[in-house]
Chain A
Amino acid sequence: MTRYIVVRLLDAIPTILLVLTLVFVAMRILPGDPAVAALGDFATPEQREAFREQMGLNAPLWQQYLSFIGSSLTLDFGQSMINGRDVLGLIAYNLPYTIELTIAAVLLGVLMGVPFGVWAATNANRAPDSAMRGFSLIGYAVPDFYLGALLLIVFSLNLGWFPINGGGEGFLDRMHHVFLPALTLAFIKAAFLGRLTRTALLEVLGRDYIRTARAKGAREPRVIYRHGLRNALLPLTTGLGLTTLTALSGSVAIELVFNRPGLGKLLISAIAERDYAVIQGGIVVFALFVVAINLAMDLVYVLVDPRIRVS
């Protein structure tokens, strides 16, 4: 198993380099003059030249590439074009809110979805199962920002139970602020996780060792949980990784809906303001997170499945 882990970790290095290369290529093939894009149409030629110097755009391409890789790996993203603040600092301020939201969304999603899935599986083809199917149909179709907007209107605007915007200060206040946004994402994650749990559990419950467990004298709850659900955890783990990824990508829109600070909001604002440096930093950080989550997914899977662990 150690060998597997080491191999996976080593494999991450070329992956990260490839990601950064793709980002570099994407940003450099951007049509048009970055100086114009950043400074606007009315910048003077001197200003544009100064910009190009500052951004190192006059150096040969390979040099730009290497310096990009280097600065990305050291997380040196330079200064914001709009307000001159340190990009890394901006990211460091906003990132915790995004992480908070993502984790909360996944947790709530699991808490809502998995029990629902178990209930549907143990009542296959009866009412709870149909409810699950209906729930997941809606969950797959409704846009997360729409659901968020609806929840915002009802619970924050009309009922006033939750704040309309912001991230909050201090633990309890932050929990208060993150609840509705996380719940929005969680509903949709729950639809996915519920369906996955149902399918995985049903498949496992059809296996021979379930029959053995009953033949041994295990009562139903033990059969379903200790033998059934425990074995269904394997596909669930993969599903959990996927859920984390989609929660991360959904957080961008949700931060906008609830006017929450976060990496996504930062990136979107930077796009609107054409803040080149922040856009670059934001893309790199998001991409690195995705690679990290994928890696974590693989490693967790190894831990959960003894067949890989002990051989």
Chain B
Amino acid sequence: MTASTDPVLPPLASQPSAFTTLRRVIFDRPATIFALAIVVLFILVAALAPLIAPYDPLAQSILDVNKPPSAAHPVGTDQFGRDVLSRLIYGSRNSLIFGFVSPVLAAIFGTTLGVVAGYFGGIVDRIISRIIDLLLAFPELLLAILIAAVLGGGFWNVVAVLTVAFTPGFARVARASTLAVKQEPYIEAAVAVGLRTPMIILRHVVPNIAAPIVVLTTLWIASAIRLEASLSFLGIGTQPPNPSWGNIIRDGLNNLFGSPWPIIGAGALITLVVLAFNLLGDAVRDALDPEASK
């Protein structure tokens, strides 16, 4: 995972050429063009799934159990006679939703926590920081498993689990950035003028810590996708019969002697999409904060 846990990414002054740099970083390297293509393809497939999928992903058929890849079923069928390709296509929707929604939610919660801790300081800060540090000491997957152990699987639970797993990382970055921004003279000026605290935070602190948060969000889309796949594989993520790339592999393992194709297909897709997002995330980071790479 290339998720950065650096505590301080320097707050960026608004750079007029940020987009140009981004464009250049992405299009100058063949690897990132490839990554961008994969990501676009992924989003399209997920969005257009009902139109593209040749079969209903839940439709079972006793006659077509464990068929190897063929013209009718390009990736074969599973032990319930379901078309694997359709399941893979629908599975991409899960990955897309969890991949985007969770980091965004975690960014919102984490940033709020971090800003509160950083801005108000004192005992509030110490308590929050202590909890954040503790949560960060856990590897994300383990934290997610432990939370899912309590909540169980299912769509909203997975969203909750992923959000909680990523929140501490955002909180730490937000807190560090807030601490840095708090020293700036314009904050002092705002206080002197008599601006009320919520206004100060909303209008002066948040916009100035936005940049590192955005970078972090992009970096963690890949992690979110991978995490959801892991949880679904373990059975505490997306529940069957809803297809998720993770639980397709799980079903596949129970059907090892039947057909290896669901496993091969689903795993390859996870690898490809995570790789693509990793590359893109690296490019975004290189563009907006060159010091942080390596």
B52 close to chain A: CB less than 8 A = no
Closest Cβ–Cβ distance, residue B210 to chain A (whole Å): 26
- How far is it, in angstroms, between the C-alpha of A88 and the C-alpha of B104 when the chains are bound? 40
CB proximity of B52 to chain A, nearest CB, Å: 23
From the candidates A22, A141, A246, A290, name the one contacting B271 in the complex (CB within 8 A).
Answer: A141
B287 beta carbon closer than 8 Å to chain A: no
Inside 8 A of B279's CB, which chain A residues have their CB?
A: 137
Smallest beta-carbon distance B79→chain A, Å:
15
Asked if B124 is at the interface of the complex by the 8 Å CB criterion, the answer is no
Judge whether B275 and A138 touch: CB under 8 Å: yes
**A294 at the binding interface (Cβ < 8 Å):** yes
Task: State in angstroms the CA–CA spacing of A287 and B246 once bound together.
Answer: 25
Q: Is the interface of B mostly helix, strand, loop or mixed?
A: helix
Q: Which residues of chain B are near A43, meaning CB under 8 Å?
A: none
A125 to chain B, nearest CB (A): 13
In Å, the complex CA distance between A27 and B148 comes to: 11
- Note all chain B residues with C-beta closer than 8 A to A137: 275, 278-279
Is A57 close to B, CB under 8 A? no
Q: How far is the CB of B288 from chain A (nearest CB, A)?
A: 20
* Chain A residues within 8 Å of B256, by CB: 152-153, 157
Residues A138 and B263 in contact in the complex (CB < 8 Å), given A253-B230, A268-B235, A283-B149: no
A142 within 8 A of B: yes
Interface pairs A-B: 3 shortest CB-CB: A146-B267, A249-B142, A141-B275
22 cross-chain CB contacts under 8 A = A137-B275, A137-B279, A140-B274, A141-B270, A145-B230, A146-B267, A146-B270, A150-B264, A153-B263, A246-B139, A246-B141, A248-B139, A248-B142, A252-B145, A253-B230, A256-B233, A268-B236, A270-B149, A271-B149, A287-B138, A287-B146, A291-B137
Known: A199-B294, A246-B141, A272-B235. 11 other contacts (CB 8 A): A137-B279, A141-B222, A141-B275, A145-B230, A145-B233, A146-B267, A150-B264, A246-B139, A250-B141, A268-B235, A290-B137
